[in-house]
Amino acid sequence: MSEPSEVIVDTSFILPMVGVKVRGVDLRLLADKTLCYPQLMLIELLAVMVKEAKALSLQFLP
């Protein structure tokens, strides 16, 4: 059986791509894969980014 070329991911795999460190996530596993995610997950992603920005006392998201 071959490895899938499309992978469904959750927020923990997307956060490192926007600069938020997540323990235990190896993005190398996703190399050459098409990432699929639920659109509603983007709301969670934005909420986590805002929370991290507040924790770092950022005035705005880069």
Nearest-CA neighbor of 24 among 36, 34, 10?
10
How much is the pTM?
0.71
What is the pLDDT at residue 34? 94
CA distance 28 to 26: 5
Give the domain ranges of the chain: 6-55
What is the pLDDT at residue 59? 83
| pLDDT tens-digit series, residues 6-60 | 999 999 999 988 888 899 988 898 889 999 999 999 999 999 989 988 998 988 7
